[in-house]
Amino acid sequence: MSDDARTRILAATVVCLGRYGIAKTTVDDAAREAGLARATVYRHFPDGKEQLIAEAISWAVSQFFAELAEAVDDAPDFPTLLERALVHAHQAVEEHVVLQKILQTEPERLLPQLSQSSKEVQEALRDYLADRLRSERLLPGVEPVPAGDWLARMGLSFILAGGRWDLSDPRQVRSLVRDELLVSILPAGVREA
Q: Does 46 bind another protein (CB under 8 A)?
A: no
- Binding segment toward another protein, per CB under 8 A, in 8-16, 46-54, 66-74, 175-183: 175-183
Cα separation, 92 vs 90, whole angstroms: 5
Residues 125-144 that bind another protein (CB under 8 A): 142
Q: Does 111 bind another protein (CB under 8 A)?
A: yes
Q: Which of 28, 35, 192, 193 binds another protein (CB under 8 A)?
A: 192
Question: Which region, left, alpha or beta, applies to residue 99 given φ > 0 means left and ψ of -120 to 50 means alpha?
Answer: alpha
Cα separation, 85 vs 68, whole angstroms: 7
Cα separation, 25 vs 189, whole angstroms: 53
Cα separation, 56 vs 6, whole angstroms: 10
Q: Which of 33, 83, 136, 149 binds another protein (CB under 8 A)?
A: 149
Question: DSSP state, 104?
Answer: H
Assign 164 to helix, strand or coil: coil
- Binding segment toward another protein, per CB under 8 A, in 39-47, 55-63, 129-137, 156-164: 156-164
Binding site for another protein (CB under 8 A): 93, 103, 107-112, 115, 118-119, 122, 142, 146-147, 149-150, 153-154, 156-158, 160-164, 171-172, 175, 178-181, 183-185, 188-189, 192
